[in-house]
Amino acid sequence: MAPQPAQPPIPAATSAVADDSNLVGPPSGLLAIPSQYSSEQRLRQSMKHAGHDEAREDGYRLKGIQLIDSVRQSLQLPVKTFDTAAIYYHKFRVRFPSNEYNYEDVALAALFVACKAEDTIKKSKEILCAAHNLRQPHDHKTPDDKIFEVPCRFTVGLERHILETIGFDFRVQYPQKLLVKMIRRMFPREDVRIREEGRKFLRIAYNMSIDIYKTFAPIKQASFTLVLAIIELTSLLLDTDPEKTKDLKKAAAWHSERSCVLETMLDLLDLYTQFPKSTKVGTRLALDKVMDVKISINSLVAKEKHQRYHGWCDRCAPELLDTRSLTPASTTSPATNSSLHGSSLVKRKRAPSEGTQRFVFDAAEARKEKEIVGRYFDDEYEEEEVEVDEPIREPEPRHPGRINHSYRGHGHNHADYGWSGHRSSRHGHPSDRHRSRRGHGY
């Protein structure tokens, strides 16, 4: 028998989509297109669903980011680790309310996950020890102390929750590197006077890039939008020459939108007017100057007919019910923390879709795959009318072995002895004595 000729291999790019004959079934896992950013409206809806206490949420957010920054400086970690930890912290707290998890435990766990994601490995005991030494400087501990055994298990448990919350999507933007490049472009190094002005400008702008993570702007805007807002706001607060930032106001040339830049600036100004002592720049600026800049930006938003929050829709924002937890756990007691091994006081919120998720970064390929998979999950029904001849069954006698008898004294014949309503044991058939009843009825 002659050998069969070898068939040419099918290209991998077209065999899964173009050739439908090779399809055996839907691919394993659930298809999802990851979204790195969110809108202000969606964030508020998520926080209402989680049952956040608005009066305490701002304080917990600021304290958590401050703790991450302090521990990061104590361990001498790079600023990119701080950026990543802050993003994870915000995403986790948007989903889980304050009464279920202590903000300090979440902040330290977010920093622990960020150290792994950014390849700046630190043990959980080292992070917990640094936080303990910052809170209690008179009681200095080492990472090998037994006091960190139980909190270490808390951190490992929260690590799993954080990974589930972010969906293993580790993409985070780092605006500091881009910020330094753009400021160097604004202030050349040839002139000594311009160089000193640039250093002062960079000092304020760089600290502002740390303060911006105390808001939700990093999970709403891209890196170019954050940098443009920081540079423009710094120039307004320091009365810098407008010619230096003239080119930066063309947001479309920097892959951004003007409304997003104005929204980020107002978020920073709200932070500096409401919580100036919790920021790095708020205490260095005069409150009157900050208020004047805020009024001018609000006037600019009204003049250019922009919305306060980009993409806000009043008709698409229904009133959500208050779904706060009925039995809140203590925020200070570690025994009520659901990250404790074996604790079942607070039920863990799982992802909306169960199963393994695959992230497809090409929207066109995702749509093609969704159409192919949809064939296996669509239920199709067809209505058919079928005529069936059913034979009519003959009625069977209730007592086929009996013979009809007539009885005297009744004036009529009883042909069916199954009816025992008007029959007594005296005049009944001998074989029906056990069926006799007193009275009438069934």
Q: In the structure, how many helices (H) and strands (E) does the chain have?
A: 13, 2
Domain boundary among 124, 147, 172: 172
Instruction: State the total domains in the chain.
Output: 2
Residues 238 and 130 in one domain: no
Residues 73 and 112 in one domain: yes
Distance CA 236, CA 229 (A): 11
Residues 181 and 53 in one domain: no
* DSSP H helical ranges for 53-148: 54-74, 79-95, 103-117, 124-135
Domain range for residue 267?
Answer: 175-303
| Residue 413 φ/ψ, nearest 5 degrees | -100, 145
Is 43 inside a domain boundary?
yes
Residues 47 and 168 in one domain: yes
pLDDT of residue 272: 92
Q: What is the largest CA-CA distance in the chain?
A: 139
Is 6 inside a domain boundary?
no
Summarised one tens digit per residue, pLDDT across range 181-213 is 888 888 887 777 788 888 889 999 999 999 999
Summarised one tens digit per residue, pLDDT across range 39-76 is 787 888 777 777 777 767 888 889 999 999 999 999 99
pLDDT of residue 342: 35
pLDDT of residue 370: 79
Is the whole-model pTM more than 0.85? no
Residues 119 and 203 in one domain: no
Is 390 inside a domain boundary?
no
* DSSP H helical ranges for 309-389: 363-374
CB atoms under 10 Å from CB of 214, counted, come to: 25
Residues 166 and 206 in one domain: no
Is 147 inside a domain boundary?
yes
CB atoms under 10 Å from CB of 367, counted, come to: 13
Is 252 inside a domain boundary?
yes
pLDDT of residue 31: 52
Average pLDDT per consecutive 10 residues, the chain (442 residues; last block may be shorter): 47 44 51 70 78 77 92 92 92 81 89 91 90 88 85 87 83 89 84 82 92 91 90 89 77 80 91 90 88 91 84 64 36 38 39 51 79 78 84 75 51 47 47 48 44
Residues 151 and 66 in one domain: yes
Residues 48 and 159 in one domain: yes
Residues 164 and 214 in one domain: no
Is 73 inside a domain boundary?
yes
Residues 163 and 45 in one domain: yes
Domain boundary among 261, 281, 303: 303
pLDDT of residue 312: 78
DSSP state of 377: T
Is 60 inside a domain boundary?
yes
Residues 109 and 149 in one domain: yes
Say if CB 287 and CB 276 are below 8 A apart: yes
Closest C-alpha among 172, 159, 86, 91 to residue 124: 159
DSSP, collapsed to helix, strand or coil, labels residue 308 as: coil
Is 375 inside a domain boundary?
no
Residues 204 and 236 in one domain: yes
Closest C-alpha among 4, 15, 10, 26 to residue 371: 26
pLDDT of residue 98: 72
Domain boundary among 172, 196, 215: 172
